[in-house]
Structure 1
Amino acid sequence: MTVTNHPADYPVPGSDKSQPEGAQCLGACNPEEKIEVVVMLRRQNEGEFKQLMQKINEGAADAAPISRDEFGKRFGASQADVTRIEAFAKAHGLDVVRADASSRSVVLSGTIAQFSTAFSVKLERFEHHAIGEYRGRSGPVNVPSDMKDMVTAVLGLDSRPQARPHFRFRPPIKPARGGTSTSYTPLDLARLYNFPAGDGSGQCVGIIELGGGYKQSDLSAYFSKLGVGKPDVVSVGVDQANNAPSGNPNGPDGEVTLDIEIVGAIVPGARIAVYFTTNSDAGFVDAVNRAIHDDANKPSVVSISWGGPESNWTAQSQNAFNDVLQSAAVMGVTVCVASGDSGSSDGVADNADHVDFPASSPYVLACGGTHLSASANGIGSEVVWNDGDQGGAGGGGVSAVFALPVWQKGLSVTRTEGGKAALAKRGVPDVAGDASPLTGYDVLIGGTETVVGGTSAVAPLWAALIARINAAAGKPAGFINPKLYLAKTAGHDITQGNNGSFEASAGWDACTGLGSPDGAKVAAALK
Structure 2
Amino acid sequence: MNYVAIPGSDRTLLPNSRPAGPVDLSQVAAITVRVRSGGDIAALEQEVYDQSKQKLEDRTYLTVEQLTQQYGARAEDLDLVEQYAQKHNLVITKRCPAERSIILQGKLRDLLNAFPASVRMYHHSTGTYRGRQGEIGVPQDLKDVVTGIFGFDTRPMHRRLYRRQRAMTTHDGSGPTQGVVATEYAKRYSFPTDFNGVSLDGTGQTIAIIELGGGFRQTDLKTYFRDVRISLPTVISVAVGADNHLIGDSADGEVMLDIEVAGAVVPKANIVVYFAPNTSKGFQDAIRAAVYDAQRKPSVISISWGTSEDFVDKRALRAFHHVFLDAARMGITICVASGDHGTANAPLEEWDRQFHVDHPSSDPYVLSCGGTQIGEHEHGDVVWNEVFDGDCWTSGGGISGSYPVPPYQSNANLPVSICTSRAGRGVPDIAMNATNYRVRVDSTETISGGTSAVAPLMAALVARLNQAKGNRVGFLNPFLYAHTRSGVVRDVTSGNNGYSGHYQGYQAAPGWNACTGLGTPDGSKILSNL
Deviation at 1:481, TM superposition (A): 0.2
**Equivalent residue in structure 1 for 2:494, among 493, 496, 502:** 496
- Provide the residue aligned with 2:403 in structure 1: 402
Cα gap change, 1:415 to 1:148, in 2 (>3 Å): closer
Which secondary structure does the structure 2 equivalent of 1:28 belong to? coil
- Counterpart of 2:145, as a letter, is M
- Provide the residue aligned with 2:361 in structure 1: 359
Structure 1 moving runs of 4+ over 4 Å: 56-63, 413-418
Counterpart check, 1:478 vs 2:482: no
* Number of residues of Structure 1 aligned to a counterpart in Structure 2: 501
Q: How does 1:444-455 map to 2 (within 5 A)?
A: 444-455=440-451
- Provide the residue aligned with 1:243 in structure 2: 244
- Counterpart of 2:368, as a letter, is A
Deviation at 1:53, TM superposition (A): 3.6
Cα distance between partner residues in 2 of 1:462 and 1:67:
24
5+ long unaligned stretches in structure 2: 168-176, 194-199, 499-504
- Provide the residue aligned with 1:518 in structure 2: 522
5+ long unaligned stretches in structure 1: 1-5, 173-180
CA contact (8 A) 1:186 1:266 kept: yes
Q: How does 1:120-199 map to 2 (within 5 A)?
A: 120-129=116-125, 131-170=126-165, 183-197=179-193, 198-199=200-201
Q: TM-score, length-normalised on structure 1?
A: 0.91
Deviation at 1:490, TM superposition (A): 4.2
CA contact (8 A) 1:414 1:505 kept: no
Deviation at 1:351, TM superposition (A): 3.0
Counterpart check, 1:15 vs 2:15: no
Cα gap change, 1:328 to 1:199, in 2 (>3 Å): same
Q: How does 1:39-438 map to 2 (within 5 A)?
A: 39-46=33-40, 47-56=42-51, 64-129=60-125, 131-170=126-165, 183-197=179-193, 198-239=200-241, 241-246=242-247, 248-249=248-249, 251-347=250-346, 349-373=351-375, 379=378, 381-388=380-387, 390-413=391-414, 424-436=423-435
CA contact (8 A) 1:494 1:515 kept: yes
Which secondary structure does the structure 2 equivalent of 1:403 belong to? coil
Deviation at 1:422, TM superposition (A): 9.8
Q: TM-score, length-normalised on structure 2?
A: 0.90
CA contact (8 A) 1:413 1:423 kept: no
CA contact (8 A) 1:414 1:504 kept: no
- Counterpart of 1:280, as a letter, is T
Cα distance between partner residues in 2 of 1:206 and 1:57:
22
CA contact (8 A) 1:431 1:513 kept: yes
Query: Root-mean-square deviation (CA), in Å?
Result: 2.3
Deviation at 1:21, TM superposition (A): 2.7
Which secondary structure does the structure 2 equivalent of 1:379 belong to? coil
Deviation at 1:277, TM superposition (A): 0.4
CA contact (8 A) 2:337 2:369 kept: yes
- Counterpart of 1:297, as a letter, is R
Which secondary structure does the structure 2 equivalent of 1:425 belong to? coil
Cα distance between partner residues in 1 of 2:53 and 2:90:
44
Cα distance between partner residues in 2 of 1:51 and 1:317:
22
Aligned identity (percent) is 39
Deviation at 1:381, TM superposition (A): 2.6
Deviation at 1:414, TM superposition (A): 6.1
Which secondary structure does the structure 2 equivalent of 1:407 belong to? helix
CA contact (8 A) 1:77 1:101 kept: yes
- Counterpart of 2:323, as a letter, is V
